[in-house]
Amino acid sequence: MNIQLPVVLWTVICFLLLMVILKNLLFKPVFAVMDQRKEKLKQAKEKKAEIKRLSDEHEARLFILSEDARIQKENFIKSELELIHVSNKQDIEAAKASRLERVEEYKKATEKEKEEIVTRFMASEDAIVRAFADRLISE
């Protein structure tokens, strides 16, 4: 076996030419697709974090509202009880009716606030999820 210099030289040249062609036609597009995929994953993680942050924020608001409602209800009941102890029997009956009306009104107002917050939360969450899904689908 003899080493033939022209064959070795042509083999090296063909290999280098093949590497240049592969670099331009294969490696660059593949790396570009991989970079795009990494960017999409990064955006998806950011959207997920945003949705979690909004969810936590709305849960905290709901907790604060429920605590406020509980405290107001307790204060309301205490004040009504004080009125009942001071009043005579006719005033007691009137105070009970008034208290029940106020409690019902407060329940309705609290429920309405809760529904509004949940609706806003769902709307903002739906919008974020829709935007995220549209983005994933379009790409």
pLDDT in tens, 31-77: 999 999 999 999 999 999 999 999 999 999 889 988 988 899 899 88
88: left (phi over 0), alpha (psi -120 to 50) or beta: beta
- Tell whether 54 is covered by a domain: yes
Distance CA 51, CA 49 (A): 5
pTM (two decimals): 0.40
- Tell whether 3 is covered by a domain: no
Q: How many domains does the chain have?
A: 1
Tokens 């309405």 sit on residue? 112
- Tell whether 126 is covered by a domain: yes
Residues near 42 by beta carbon (within 8 Å), at least 6 away in sequence: none
Structure confidence by residue, pLDDT tens digits, 76-118: 888 887 776 665 566 667 778 888 888 888 888 888 887 887 7
- Tell whether 15 is covered by a domain: no
Give the 3-state secondary structure of residue 38: helix
